[in-house]
Structure 1
């Protein structure tokens, strides 16, 4: 199937029934309502990944930044005191978020593909739902696949540079291993991706005209 192209989507001229969403769901406009939900998710996803994959995208994000795991909390030793210092923890946080960013690059194609293949049995309910209703549905459909795709990349990334030195020392003291640490970081990164998508969805719902997409403007305008 052809890869989703936002420019192509935005350039499509689709006539939108104006009789109301209920009529769209059961009449000839049902396909248009489903297409509207897909456009909403596609645009939200592309905007979210554009921000997250920018330099320091995860670290700079208010909704996706990954906190330094408790494994780096220290144990009262000289190492623990070092890891508690502001500059060191900041460098750790930046490094961990860069690991998540590298792994998220692999997840982007998976999310877009799931948007394209999602079953939207009640697109009207999604459009009438809360500000992140479409994203919530997407996370249910794609969350597991995103986590599975990111975990190997995160685990590899945690073995490098500053993270390797710090986590290796901690593992020797506490028994925490890379697999557990990788699962924690990958889980936070996956959740952060969907929070970022949800934030973009909410912004689009609040101002659909800014998208310049006639389908989104018409359908989301009817739900306000």
Structure 2
């Protein structure tokens, strides 16, 4: 078992001090293995990676399908604020159809693009170090999700943007926004190219929704025995 991992984990649990941990490592090893039925550092590491992998895969599957975003009130992507205000004003008059269409198609674009996140999550989980693992173990119920969010967001934005832009075009969102701009005189409010304007907003909101469900899955695995579907998960989180 890794010496630094043991010392940090036991100190965080309040079992020992830095000095006694370093001075009596054999007792610490016995305490750890006894408390977890002989669980080794390698098994703990494996269990943590499995939990994060399962949580990430479940989240991607959940949002990366028809109505994954649109049909979920918790993560449905709204229109950008300027467009949302106009949509709200026009809806009672029966004149919001163009913006309603943009709203739907932005969510469809995010659903189409979501699966690209899976491989990046897997790469990030594979690159976990002992120090990362200690931080996650010491952290709260979504510490692993926070690690993934911090380590993958810049690359996810880069990876997400092209498929979101493509999806926005293929689903007709850009064309619908062009129509809404012309119909409702919104040209003065939207200075960017409609595709860039929509994709920048949609990517940010899509990632927020994705990480929300990664966090929900991680919390469930940590707290709900029914979610621990393998022996290693039961050993680590039981």
Question: TM-score normalized by structure 1?
Answer: 0.74
1:165 aligns with 2:175: yes
Q: Deviations over 1:132-158 (max 9, x none)?
A: 111101111111111110111222333
**Residue 214 (structure 1) aligns with:** 231
CA contact (8 A) 1:155 1:182 kept: yes
Farther-moved stretch of structure 1 (106-115 vs 157-166)? 157-166
CA contact (8 A) 1:118 1:141 kept: no
1:143 aligns with 2:153: yes
Cα separation, partners in 2 of 1:220 and 1:62, compared to 1, 3 Å: farther
Where does 1:32-181 land on structure 2 (aligned, <5 Å)? 32-73=43-84, 81=90, 88=97, 90-160=100-170, 162-169=172-179, 170=181, 172-174=187-189, 175-177=191-193, 178-181=195-198
**Residue 205 (structure 1) aligns with:** 222
Q: Which runs of 5+ in 2 are unaligned?
A: 1-28
Q: C-alpha distance in 2, partners of 1:18/1:206?
A: 26
Give the CA deviation at 1:21: 8.3
Farther-moved stretch of structure 1 (189-198 vs 175-184)? 175-184
Return the index of the structure with the highest Cα Rg: 2
CA contact (8 A) 2:106 2:198 kept: no
Q: C-alpha distance in 1, partners of 2:206/2:69?
A: 8
Moved runs in structure 1, 4+ residues, more than 4 A? Answer: 21-24, 82-87
Cα separation, partners in 2 of 1:120 and 1:56, compared to 1, 3 Å: farther
CA contact (8 A) 1:131 1:201 kept: yes
Q: Which runs of 5+ in 1 are unaligned?
A: 1-16
Give the CA deviation at 1:172: 3.4
CA contact (8 A) 1:63 1:195 kept: no
Q: C-alpha distance in 1, partners of 2:93/2:127?
A: 45
**Residue 211 (structure 2) aligns with:** 194
Root mean square deviation, CA, Å: 3.2
Farther-moved stretch of structure 1 (64-73 vs 198-207)? 64-73
Q: How many residues align?
A: 200
CA contact (8 A) 1:127 1:220 kept: no
Cα separation, partners in 2 of 1:190 and 1:65, compared to 1, 3 Å: same
CA contact (8 A) 1:95 1:162 kept: yes
Cα separation, partners in 2 of 1:150 and 1:122, compared to 1, 3 Å: closer
CA contact (8 A) 1:73 1:84 kept: no
Which fold has the larger relative contact order, with Cα–Cα distance below 8 Å and residues 6 or more apart in sequence? 1
Give the CA deviation at 1:32: 1.8
